[in-house]
Amino acid sequence: MNVKHKYTQLIKTEAERLDFLSCGVSKAEFLEKEAPRLEKWLNKNKHDKMRYMENHLYIFIPQTYKNVSQSYQNYKTEVNNYSN
């Protein structure tokens, strides 16, 4: 197992332990085709309280080699337990 794969697995294992729904690692680069879609999404205010996204949409840090993306359910669901 090479070093990149080892650290990717380590990150994904930790994300799973922390109950993230998903975790992905990708190359850090400007996604020219995706930018208009993201801009539309922002214009529809789909980002809710994540206002930082409005001001930092196109920032790219040259020293960044990988992006780690995770998803997490941020709303609570009610569970009904019925006893007989």
What would the pLDDT profile of 1-20 be if each residue is shown by its tens digit? Answer: 788 889 999 999 999 999 99
Three-state DSSP class for 63? coil
Q: How far apart are CA 76 and CA 50, in angstroms?
A: 19
Query: pTM value?
Result: 0.55
What would the pLDDT profile of 42-64 be if each residue is shown by its tens digit? Answer: 889 888 887 777 776 566 666 77
For the chain, the 3-state helix, strand and coil shares in percent, each to the nearest 5, are 35, 15, 50
What would the pLDDT profile of 62-84 be if each residue is shown by its tens digit? Answer: 677 788 888 877 766 655 555 54
What local confidence, expressed as pLDDT, does residue 35 receive? 82
